[in-house]
């Protein structure tokens, strides 16, 4: 595809107007103010007038199939939410439900401009099949939990994770990567954590964990482990010797951030979910100051309740200004970086997340010719503070258009909506008949 | 119009499915589970399958023409924002700029489902002309300021407000109402405040003021006026003897809320603008507990940066949960009430803001048949936590469709965008040549 006469945000988050961008196979092949000499090389031409080309979003922390529980458990304390709503519902899930729910979540993400997600859930094979069908990029991991003192080898979910890695890691030209995961400190034990860390090192994969989402989780960890914070605990067990993504980190302390920075751990902050579950507001300036790579995630649609990275960017930026009573904090370029390049980095996709020649064509187009995005004084301000996810009109992954103007190229959305409704109704019926 | 087989949110915020709603002239004439006996009475039929009919939004605090400055002054302290960006830009505004900018803001509001706005700005006649052209409802006031000890009679903007009231109050079947306004305590003097209050009483209009937006404004008022808070100050000068809307009220104290409640003053909270300018988070639970009517406003697009009440609802609900570390606070029905009926009440439009027979047909339709709004467990949760403004597919004011599926029925949007761009460029050129 050849994008013609389009505005773009480059790798330094600088805006350029009237650009030509040529995509060949899966890569960005040309960027210039002039028409390329052989425009025919790029196939279909796209009229970019009144539009912005930018890197697609990298959702750094998601539980995609939980779209099935969107709006199901609301306005409850975290414990009531989990125990009376989420866990009983999840207990009824079958592989088929997960397959269709994953496709629904992917449809939503593509519609809102997300090209890749870092996900932690279960039923990995069903998720992998849906992901491969869609053509979206994913770093997928199985959320390992263990509530007794079992050995790693005896954990079914670890066996599943191993098989998933063997069968799917690197599938579809690397679009699907299989990471390892420990759900959290309070849902595992040191043997398990150590075992998975070591296994991750052995196979050269990446780690995905939840850390210090709530104050009580953070404090209870310290009580259980001789004053060790969750960050210290995971560090001591070798987790961070792997490239790692730590979701939330709302309650990390001084010293924790330096550990995260030293090991190159990405913090996947989830501002909307943290606010909605009333867990707190993550301290972004302190993380950035410590040199931590901060990316943005939506968490699940059960606690968000959508997977819209544009909305997430606005909460990310504004909550920091509000927390510190300082409107000058977090510039739009920092927010856009966190939602794109920082997430790509956390996934090990270093040739994604920014627009330059040679990078993967993981791109989105935003329509600016709409009342709430006019007039334009500064496009970065416009995207972070004025846009919403529905302004995305095209989503391209590895050079292939997967979504354009309400149409999906790889997903039969009517079938997905039908199957998800069927799953929802079956599960609700089963829950009602308990 | 006859809405067929549609879901709706009624005046108690209860959801009903498979409803028929007949609109005759400007009123809701029929609501029932069955087709009305004389469907022909209602003209055009609207297939409501997969859609939600709800009251349109009432934006309780806006400065509509400031869409011209959307994204122009960003990430600055309040004083820098005002002095280096907003005031110099506003100084260049002409009536023609205001006319087109008002239409642009209205186009945005209609697109996002707002049927009526309470607005405070200047160039009232240009705004009034744009409002009347659009068919939207407005409570319009001129933001009176006075930085010396002049008498009210000598203030040009007061004369303008009087003329505006005489010429436009009640125009177009009451769609346009002219309110009176005192911009704020710190931008006026007691004589002016008293004078406008008395005049408002005399003509039977309503008052619109800014109160305690920032801590410094609040504290400085107390220093200037023997410890009186802005609420106490305005009360002492008779402002609240009129039906009044007080924007912001972020820093009101114990005692202030009771005064507001006693006088039936509406607080128009602007959660996004307050967060973005880092003014603080308004204490909604305390206001509600004191019995204050709490409505929601977007403030201006220069500090938001859009006029999307759906987005505003999500910030409204989540910030309260986050502020108190309590996810059970603010139920969706309270949020929806604040964004609709509470705003209608603040404008004196008691026959608007909820769906019942005999009420004004100020209605919107939301398309639910989209990935991020599926599956549906609870429609109120869906609207407050998962939707965005672009899910609105139809906006009707007084029974007339003003917006549907991207099309405006009263506004030439291409012309508006063209003229606004022209205004922006002229003003920027003038500023550059200073």
Q: pLDDT (tens digit, 0 to 9) for every residue of chain A, 434 residues total?
A: 999 999 999 888 899 999 999 999 999 999 999 999 999 999 999 999 999 999 999 999 999 999 999 999 999 988 899 999 999 999 999 999 999 999 999 999 999 999 999 999 999 999 999 999 999 999 999 999 999 888 899 999 999 999 999 999 999 999 999 999 999 999 999 999 999 999 999 999 999 999 999 999 999 999 999 999 999 999 999 999 999 999 999 999 999 999 999 999 999 999 999 999 999 999 999 999 999 999 999 999 999 999 999 999 999 999 999 999 999 999 999 999 999 999 999 999 999 999 999 999 999 999 999 999 999 999 999 999 999 999 999 999 999 999 999 999 999 999 999 999 999 999 999 999 97
CATH number of the domain enclosing A182: 3.20.20.140
Q: Which of B112, B328, B375 sits opposite A77 (nearest CB)?
A: B328
What's the pLDDT tens digit per position in B327-371? Answer: 999 999 999 999 999 999 999 999 999 999 999 999 999 999 999
State whether B71 and A275 contact (CB < 8 Å). Answer: no
State whether B108 and A371 contact (CB < 8 Å). Answer: yes
Give contacts of A 4-43 with B, CB under 8 A: none
The per-residue pLDDT for A120 is: 98
| Residue B419 placed within a domain | no
Q: Chain A: residue nearest B273 by CA?
A: A318
| Residue B431 placed within a domain | no
Contact B385, A305 (CB under 8 A): yes
> Do both A393 and A324 map to the same domain?
no
SS3 B169: coil
DSSP state of B384: I
Task: Establish whether the linkage from the previous residue to A49 is cis, with ω within 30° of 0.
Answer: no
Q: Which of A304, A331, A390 sits opposite B75 (nearest CB)?
A: A331
Q: Please give the C-alpha separations between residue B330 and each of A418, B25, B327, B335, B381, in angstroms, as whole numbers.
A: 32, 36, 8, 7, 11
Q: Chain A: residue nearest B68 by CA?
A: A375
Instruction: Give the sign of the dihedral formed by CA A223, CA A224, CA A226, CA A229.
Output: negative
Contact status of A63 with chain B (Cβ, < 8 Å): no
> Do both A237 and A331 map to the same domain?
yes
| Residue B252 placed within a domain | yes
Give contacts of A 310-369 with B, CB under 8 A: 311, 314-315, 318-319, 321-322, 324-332, 369
Contact A67, A108 (CB under 8 A): yes
Contact B408, B110 (CB under 8 A): yes
Specify the DSSP element, H or E, that contains A55.
strand A51-55
Specify the DSSP element, H or E, that contains A51.
strand A51-55
The per-residue pLDDT for B11 is: 82
Task: Establish whether the linkage from the previous residue to A196 is cis, with ω within 30° of 0.
Answer: no
3-state per-residue secondary structure call for B257-324: HHHHHHCCCEEEECHHHHHHCCCCCCCHHHHHHCCCEEEECCCCCCCCCCCCHHHHHHHHHHHHHHHH
Å from A6 to nearest chain B CA?
Answer: 18
Contact B24, B81 (CB under 8 A): no
Give contacts of A 102-141 with B, CB under 8 A: 104, 107-108, 111-112
Residues in chain B where the model's pLDDT stays below 70:
none
Gap between the Cα atoms of B187 and B94, Å rounded: 22
Give burial (CB, 10 Å; 0-12/13-18/19+) of B245. Answer: buried
The per-residue pLDDT for B360 is: 98
Å from B276 to nearest chain A CA?
Answer: 5
With b for 16 or more beta-carbon neighbours within 10 A and e for fewer, the A109-126 pattern comes to: bbbbbbbbbbbbbbbbbb
> Do both A68 and A45 map to the same domain?
no
State whether B385 and A324 contact (CB < 8 Å). Answer: no
| Residue B351 placed within a domain | no
> Do both A29 and A65 map to the same domain?
no
Contact A56, A47 (CB under 8 A): no
Within 8 A of B67 by CB-CB distance, chain A residues are 371, 374-375
**What do you get for the CA distance between the two ends of chain B, in Å?**
54
Instruction: Give the sign of the dihedral formed by CA B222, CA B226, CA B231, CA B237.
Output: negative
Pairing mode, if any, of strands A176-178 and A137-142?
parallel
Within 8 A of B84 by CB-CB distance, chain A residues are none
Q: Chain A: residue nearest B304 by CA?
A: A385
Contact status of A248 with chain B (Cβ, < 8 Å): no
> Do both B100 and B248 map to the same domain?
yes
State whether A71 and B111 contact (CB < 8 Å). Answer: no
> Do both A298 and A370 map to the same domain?
no
Specify the DSSP element, H or E, that contains A141.
strand A137-142
Mutate to test the interface with B, among A7, A304, A327 (most CBs of B within 10 A): A327
| Residue B186 placed within a domain | yes
State whether B318 and A276 contact (CB < 8 Å). Answer: yes
Q: Which of A274, A371, A375 sits opposite B107 (nearest CB)?
A: A371
Within 8 A of A374 by CB-CB distance, chain B residues are 67, 70, 104, 417, 420-421
> Do both B151 and B170 map to the same domain?
yes
> Do both A72 and A36 map to the same domain?
no
| Residue A352 placed within a domain | no
> Do both B313 and B394 map to the same domain?
no
The per-residue pLDDT for A77 is: 87
Tell me: ipTM over 0.85: yes
Within 8 A of A420 by CB-CB distance, chain B residues are 374-375
State whether B322 and A274 contact (CB < 8 Å). Answer: yes
Q: Is B8 left (phi over 0), alpha (psi -120 to 50) or beta?
A: beta
SS3 A17: strand
> Do both A35 and A69 map to the same domain?
no
The arrangement of strands across the sheet holding B114-121 comes to B57-62, B114-121, B137-142, B176-178
> Do both B37 and B68 map to the same domain?
no
Structural domains counted in chain A: 2
CATH number of the domain enclosing B391: 2.30.40.10
Written as six digits, the tokens of B242 are: 């009129």
> Do both B377 and B249 map to the same domain?
no
Identify the CA nearest to B9 among candidates B47, B209, B19, B1.
B19
Give contacts of A 275-304 with B, CB under 8 A: 275-281, 301, 304
Q: Please give the C-alpha separations between residue A30 and each of A39, A57, A109, B127, B399, in angstroms, as whole numbers.
A: 10, 21, 27, 47, 52
CA–CA–CA angle A230, A231, A232 (5° rounding)? 90
The per-residue pLDDT for B320 is: 97
The per-residue pLDDT for A13 is: 85
Q: Which of A331, A370, A381 sits opposite B305 (nearest CB)?
A: A381
State whether A71 and B378 contact (CB < 8 Å). Answer: yes
| Residue B369 placed within a domain | yes
Identify the CA nearest to A305 among candidates A85, A59, A67, A116.
A67
pTM metric for this prediction: 0.98
| Residue A7 placed within a domain | yes
Å from A46 to nearest chain B CA?
Answer: 21
State whether A108 and B74 contact (CB < 8 Å). Answer: no
The per-residue pLDDT for B149 is: 86
Gap between the Cα atoms of B250 and A186, Å rounded: 38
Contact B180, B196 (CB under 8 A): yes
Q: Please give the C-alpha separations between residue A345 and each of A331, A353, B90, in angstroms, as whole numbers.
A: 20, 8, 43
Written as six digits, the tokens of B142 are: 């001129």
Written as six digits, the tokens of B204 are: 């039977």
Query: Domain residues for B256?
Result: 57-346
How far from the centroid of its chain's Cα atoms is residue B40's Cα? 35
The per-residue pLDDT for A429 is: 97
State whether A107 and B69 contact (CB < 8 Å). Answer: no
Q: Chain B: residue nearest A274 by CA?
A: B322
């Amino acid at each position: 595809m050849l994008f013609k006469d389009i505005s773009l945000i480059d790798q330094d988050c600088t805006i350029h107007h009237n650009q030509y961008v040529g995509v060949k196979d899966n890569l960005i092949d040309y960027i210039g103010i002039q028409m390329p000499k052989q425009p025919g090389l790029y196939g279909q031409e796209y009229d970019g007038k009144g539009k912005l080309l930018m890197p697609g979003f990298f959702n750094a922390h998601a539980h995609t199939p939980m779209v099935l529980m969107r709006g199901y458990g609301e306005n409850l304390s975290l414990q009531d939410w989990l125990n009376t709503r989420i866990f009983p519902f999840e207990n009824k899930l079958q592989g088929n439900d997960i397959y269709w729910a994953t496709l629904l979540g992917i449809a939503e993400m593509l519609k809102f401009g997300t090209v890749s997600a870092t996900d932690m859930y279960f039923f990995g094979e069903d998720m992998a099949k849906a992901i491969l069908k869609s053509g979206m990029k994913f770093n997928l991991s199985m959320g390992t939990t263990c509530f007794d003192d079992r050995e790693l080898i005896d954990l079914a979910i670890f066996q599943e994770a191993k098989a998933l890695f063997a069968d799917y890691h690197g599938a579809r030209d690397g679009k699907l990567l299989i990471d390892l995961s420990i759900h959290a400190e309070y849902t595992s034990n040191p043997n398990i954590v150590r075992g998975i860390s070591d296994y991750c090192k052995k196979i050269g994969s990446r780690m995905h964990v939840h850390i210090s989402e709530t104050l009580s989780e953070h404090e209870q960890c310290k009580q259980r482990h001789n004053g060790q914070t969750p960050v210290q605990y995971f560090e001591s067990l070798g987790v961070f010797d792997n490239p790692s993504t730590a979701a939330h980190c709302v309650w990390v302390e001084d010293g924790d951030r330096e550990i995260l920075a030293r090991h190159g751990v990405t913090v996947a902050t989830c501002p909307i979910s943290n606010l909605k579950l009333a867990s707190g507001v993550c301290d972004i300036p302190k993380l950035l100051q410590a040199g931590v790579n901060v990316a943005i995630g939506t968490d699940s649609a059960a606690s968000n309740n959508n997977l819209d990275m544009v909305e997430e960017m606005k909460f990310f930026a504004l909550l920091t200004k509000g927390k510190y009573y300082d409107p000058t904090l977090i510039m739009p370029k920092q927010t856009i970086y966190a939602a794109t390049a920082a997430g790509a980095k956390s996934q090990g996709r270093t040739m994604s997340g920014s627009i330059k020649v040679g990078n993967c064509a993981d791109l989105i187009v935003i329509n600016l010719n709409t009342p709430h995005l006019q007039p334009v004084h500064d496009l970065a301000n416009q995207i972070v503070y004025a846009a919403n996810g529905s302004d995305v009109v095209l989503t391209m992954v590895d050079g292939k258009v997967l979504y354009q103007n309400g149409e999906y190229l790889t997903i039969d959305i009517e079938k997905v909506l039908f199957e998800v409704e069927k799953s929802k109704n079956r599960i609700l019926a089963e829950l009602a008949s308990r």
